[in-house]
Amino acid sequence: MEAVYTQGIWIAECLQQRTQDLEHFWLTITHIGDPKAAFLLVFPLTYFVCKRAGVAVLWVAALSEWLNLVLKWMLFGERPFWWVGESQLFVSTQPKISQFPSTCETGPGSPSGHAMITAAVWWVVVSSLGSFLYSRTHSLVISAAPYLLYVLLLVAIGLSRIFILAHFPHQVVAGCITGFILGIVLSPRVPEGRPLLFFFSCSAGLLLSALMLNVGLQQLGVDLSWSITLAKKWCSHAEWIHLDTTPFSSLTRDCGALLGLGLSQYWKPGGWPLPWAPRALSLAISSIGLYHVSRLPLPVKPQGLFYSLVFIKFALVPQIVMVLVPGLVYLFTRTKKKD
């Protein structure tokens, strides 16, 4: 693998030097591809356009990120920003590469979570949009446009991850392929109308299975904190290390979102019947609410409290989008009509 990693470093160096004027663009794209964006941005946007597609987005985001976590634990992928120092292969010819605030993620690097979750989640969106456009226009050219944008988005996110030294090229490709397959497999299997017990079981099952895998690997002598140690060692700025990039943070996010999805469908099966204008209003209010929820500072010590609060925060996301905000909008617009 040393030859693959070395070639990846030179590709990253070339990309940084030739597109250094696009630094802001790459940082913005990598934020768009952040797995958290699937829950906080793509989910509400999709839900208020098509409820079924919105539920599918949240479902696919949670399952694909959980599988990404498992794969990372199993594959032990390096990240460029620490491998350069650890390999000691660049003593005489040090590459001219830079780190950025989004570089220092603490989980293993393979496959790329940004690429994998983005590929899975956006497949739900573009396939739904493509089918809708074809049903209205019967034009293959027009209905193919979302798929072209899908490919361009994956390419842009992949390049952004290479640019900031978060991933090697082969890790990005692996993430895109895996996410694409997951999107195809999971998107038709939307858990609508399922009882609350189903979602509770899914949330608990994902949490317990990941914990059992963690314990099992540790019993075999595998130190799963190795990537966190290397990230702290080689990150150029200590403040760029964030606890919400750890594997357990993504695990609690996924489990919380699934339980929240079940609770939302339990409180209000089928959602609120809103016309287009109240839906747009609900989307705007939900987006503002989620923006502030995502920015809530969480105590990082003790870590158990941090992970518990992450679980609660993302369990609230479906409540805000599917129940609370549209319910208030529905009551407000309904009262206004009676007057």
What is the distance between the alpha carbons of residues 118 and 254, in angstroms, rounded to a whole number? Answer: 15
Tell me which amino acid residue 153 is.
L
DSSP string, 176-207: HHHHHHHHHHHTT---TT--HHHHHHHHHHHH
What is the distance between the alpha carbons of residues 313 and 227, in angstroms, rounded to a whole number? Answer: 26
Q: What DSSP character marks residue 110?
A: S
Instruction: Check residue 48 and give its pLDDT.
Output: 95
Q: Which residue has the tokens 């992970």?
A: 307
What is the distance between the alpha carbons of residues 91 and 257, in angstroms, rounded to a whole number? Answer: 46
Selected catalytic residue, list 24, 31, 114, 292:
114
Structurally, the chain folds into a number of domains equal to 1
38-50 confidence digits (pLDDT tens): 999 999 999 999 9
What is the distance between the alpha carbons of residues 11 and 95, in angstroms, rounded to a whole number? Answer: 10
Q: Which residues are annotated as a binding site?
A: 79, 161
Checking if the pLDDT of 338 tops 50, the result is no
Tell me which amino acid residue 92 is.
S
Checking if the pLDDT of 336 tops 50, the result is no
Task: Determine contact, residues 263/127, Cβ cutoff 8 Å.
Answer: no
Residues 6+ apart with CB under 8 A from 168: 4, 5, 8, 12, 77, 78, 79, 80, 109, 110, 162
Pure H helices in the chain: 2-18, 23-32, 35-37, 43-47, 51-75, 80-87, 113-137, 140-163, 169-186, 196-219, 226-234, 247-267, 276-294, 303-318, 325-338
Q: What is the mean pLDDT of residues 317-339?
A: 83
Q: Clarify whether 167 is annotated catalytic.
A: yes
88-118 confidence digits (pLDDT tens): 887 778 889 999 999 999 999 999 999 999 9
Selected catalytic residue, list 24, 138, 167, 170:
167
Joined tokens for residue 175: 């993430």
Task: Determine contact, residues 258/194, Cβ cutoff 8 Å.
Answer: no
Task: Determine contact, residues 175/112, Cβ cutoff 8 Å.
Answer: yes
Question: Residue 335's pLDDT band (boundaries 50, 70, 90)?
Answer: low
Instruction: Check residue 291 and give its pLDDT.
Output: 84
Around Cβ 164, how many Cβ atoms within 10 Å? 27
Task: Determine contact, residues 81/234, Cβ cutoff 8 Å.
Answer: yes
Joined tokens for residue 315: 């369990």
Q: Which residues are annotated as a binding site for substrate?
A: 79, 161
- The count of residues in the chain is 339
Domain ranges, residue 131: 2-338
pTM over cut 0.85? yes
Report the chain's terminal Cα–Cα distance, integer Å.
Answer: 71
Q: What is the mean pLDDT of residues 293-310?
A: 89
Question: Residue 35's pLDDT band (boundaries 50, 70, 90)?
Answer: very high
